[in-house]
Structure 1
């Protein structure tokens, strides 16, 4: 079982994500989040997928695309740190990724296929890491971080965006 990281295992700006992760089996939490995310997006029309709750904010499609991009990057970090790689890993600017993505031009079904592939790969990676990998320390975005912290950040990031979608984009399951 993947143990919750201590506060000194990751940068402070990730605290909100880690705090969102409930107690329990992290892999089950990821699977549950996947099911909820899939159900939510499968119920959206293409038109609703383009909804933005305010000018300059991402569309709901862009949020899903961002979730997949970020999980892909964080899973790569998890792999590198879990394998004991000490090479510093660069940060990334999520707004630059959105600007170059064309997520709004893709069908929701395609965005969900990508998110599904990434989530399945994340779960497979986590399932197959040896026990001693979880406490390894690496260097990403100019800070030290442990493998288990990255795993919790992945889960918390997805939970964060599902919460944002429900609070800012949806009211009882429908677009505002």
Structure 2
């Protein structure tokens, strides 16, 4: 999937995430991220997974769970729009999802396996899209967006959180 995005393809709110994604095929970028992220967390302990860099901030386990949840939601949106569904799709409140998930009760290895499976599922979806699907448009949270932008948001959202993980959790 190597189509080029324009600013008319997405809500400006997502521009920060999309701007983090390097040039190239978004599917190849997502594949590369999968390996990099798994490597980044390969040797972390449960104690490190429960670390919060400040009171009230998410633990590392919660960040990983949040990345997976957000990718699921964005992939679902991508699927619906790619298949021509014109039903407007709602937004979601990330903090409510993290609170309800109780990610800290999970093993870090389980959360990483879940992340891996979610990403592999996203990649299968993207690789199976019809040729014209990336430019199909839909409404998400009251704003117009296209399929390709959703794929870039998935990649950029993860890059955003990996940067935070590097800077605030001290994990490279």
- Asked if TM exceeds 0.5, the reply is yes
* Gapped regions of structure 1 (runs ≥ 5): none
Taking the TM superposition and a 5 Å limit, the aligned residue runs for 1:23-172 are: 23-170=23-170
Secondary structure (helix, strand or coil) at the match of 1:138 reads strand
Aligned length: 172
Q: RMSD across aligned C-alpha pairs, in angstroms?
A: 1.0
TM-score (ref. length: structure 2): 0.97
Change (3 A) 1:5 1:93: same
Distance 1:46 1:93 in 2: 27
* Gapped regions of structure 2 (runs ≥ 5): none
The answer on whether the counterparts of 2:75 and 2:122 sit within 8 Å (CA) in structure 1 is yes
The offset of 1:39, in angstroms, is: 1.0
Distance 1:31 1:129 in 2: 16
The offset of 1:160, in angstroms, is: 0.8
The offset of 1:55, in angstroms, is: 0.9
Distance 2:38 2:16 in 1: 23
The answer on whether the counterparts of 1:2 and 1:134 sit within 8 Å (CA) in structure 2 is no
